[in-house]
Amino acid sequence: MQEKEEILEVLEFKNSLKKNTAILGFDYGSKRLGVAVSDLLRIIATSYKIVYRTDFEKDIQEIKKIIEAKEVGGIVYGLPLQMNGEEGDIAKEVRTFAEKVFQATNLPYTFWDERLSSSAMENFLIKEVDMNRKRRKEVLDSSAASFILQGFLDRLSFIS
């Protein structure tokens, strides 16, 4: 049943998007928001930047700039589920943040399971790129956002 619900959510999100618009991917954090963006064909996710969070008004100004610059039609938020699949306090924060961004932008949004995305990206940056700790810290959030968004785009491509 879970997979059927996921397909319906992804299809509903896909149908709410305007043609030839990008999708933003967010890796939420209380101090940093990792940002990735898709191409207009929604095939490839690319790390874009890190928004260093201060207060919501400044955060939303920065998000709106990105939306305009990148021709964004929707947003995917990484949802940090617990290993047993349940939502904890951080997942609730993500949902609250997503609703506030929706109120400010009116862009459709959805969530994607982000379990282990940061760990996967950190391992990749260590083993495959041989990136030092300082540089990893600088790019990890946006890389995790890219990982989340790419997973979603891959799923999106299989749903008609």
Ranges assigned E (strand) in the chain:
22-27, 32-38, 45-52, 72-79, 109-113
CATH code where residue 62 lies: 3.30.420.140
The confidence band for 71, taking pLDDT boundaries of 50, 70 and 90, is: very high
Residues 6+ apart with CB under 8 A from 109: 13, 74, 75, 76, 77, 98, 101, 102
Residues 6+ apart with CB under 8 A from 158: none
Tokens of 109: 């949004």
Q: What's the structural domain count of the chain?
A: 1
Containing domain of residue 91, as a range?
2-157
The confidence band for 81, taking pLDDT boundaries of 50, 70 and 90, is: confident
Position 124 scores a pLDDT of: 53
Q: Are strands 72-79 and 22-27 parallel, antiparallel or unpaired?
A: parallel
Residue 15 in this model has a pLDDT that exceeds 70: yes
Position 1 scores a pLDDT of: 42
pTM check: above 0.75: yes
Q: Which has more confidence, 137 or 104?
A: 104
Give 43-65 pLDDT, tens digit per residue: 999 999 999 999 999 999 999 99
Half-sphere CA count of 34, side-chain side, radius 13 A: 28
Mean pLDDT within 14-41:
95
DSSP assignment, residue 122?
H
Mean pLDDT within 31-41:
95
Tokens of 122: 């950190």
Q: Which position has the token pair 């939502």?
A: 87
Q: Is 20 left (phi over 0), alpha (psi -120 to 50) or beta?
A: left
Residue 21 in this model has a pLDDT that exceeds 50: yes
